[in-house]
Every structure is written in structure tokens, then in C-alpha cells.
Amino acid sequence: MNCTIRPLTPDDEPFLWEMLYQAIHVPDGHAPISRDVLHLPELARYLRGWGREGDCGFLAAVGQPVGAVWLRLLVGEERGYGYVAEDTPELSIALLPEFRGRGIGTQLLTRLFASPCGDSPISLSVSADDPAVRLYRRLGFEVVGESGGSLTMVRDRGR
């Protein structure tokens, strides 16, 4: 599916909060998680104050915003679920449910990897049973850790 991809701006933060919610993997047959989960510090750190130095990402639109991918360096007490090193930003990506499985996630990640901010090691955390694991493996991510049903994956620069 063709879409328009553009860099994220601080004005995109409200849409990114929706994307953060959509990034939470809910296994088939399970009830959706309350949106209140976004207020938890361990999740809010992925977006609160979006647009700070080092934040980087892209938005996909098909007439309207339908997905986003972003990187944020989370260090010290702000360490995220996919933390591997102080100089390795963590990746977040999500699409509105009706736009999944159409190649938009691949387009977003390819655009990110082609940008200056994508030319460094990148980490992420993903549920082991999330179908996105196949996409991450195909695009060069490797599992470097496993904990509580989640995988930590890393893509080295330039892969």
C-alpha cells in the first residue's frame, strides 16, 4: 500500500500517544487494555515531551495519519523495556489496526533506517508472540535477551 511518509514534528505528539497505545500487544481473544496504562511512567517515558534533542521518527499517512515509527534514547532512570546500552536508542512503531499487514510498517522502518538517525544500533522490546517479530528479524534485528515473554532485539548500524 502506498503511503506518504514524513518526519515527525512536536505537533505530532497527540497522534504518537495513540500510536503508543496501539503498540501494546494484546494477544488474540484478550480484552483491550485500559488507556490509563499510558499514564504509567514506564510507558509515558517513550513520549512525554516529544521533540527533545535526539528524538527522531516518521509518520505514515494514507489521507490521514495511520502509523508512526520513532526512536528515543532512554537512559539512567528512564531506561525503557528494550534498553541495551546508554548510546542505543529504543524503537517504537505502531499502525492503526485496519492498516496492519499492508507493508506500511516495512515502509516506515525502511525510511527510518535510511535516515541519519537510523544509522546506529537500535534496540526494541517486543512480545515473543507478536507477529511483528517476523518483520523485525527480516529487517536485521537479532534477539539479545528474553524476559517474561518479551524479547529484546537489536539491529546494528548499517545492516
Q: What does the pLDDT look like over 77-87, one tens digit per residue? A: 999 999 999 99
For 4-119, the fitting CATH number among 3.50.30.50, 3.40.630.30, 3.40.190.10, 1.10.357.10 is 3.40.630.30
Place of cell 506518504: 4
pLDDT at 159 over 60: no
How buried is residue 101: exposed, middle or buried, by Cβ count under 10 Å (0-12/13-18/19+)?
exposed
Residue 2's pLDDT is 84
Q: What angle do CA 106, 112, 114 make, to 5 degrees?
A: 100
In the chain the first and final C-alpha atoms are separated, in Å, by 24
What number of residues does the chain have? 159
The model's pTM is 0.92
How buried is residue 114: exposed, middle or buried, by Cβ count under 10 Å (0-12/13-18/19+)?
exposed
For residues 90 and 74, what is the distance between their CA atoms, to the nearest angstrom? 7
What is Dmax (Cα atoms) for the chain?
40
pLDDT at 1 over 90: no
Q: What does the pLDDT look like over 93-125, one tens digit per residue? A: 999 999 999 999 999 999 999 999 888 899 999
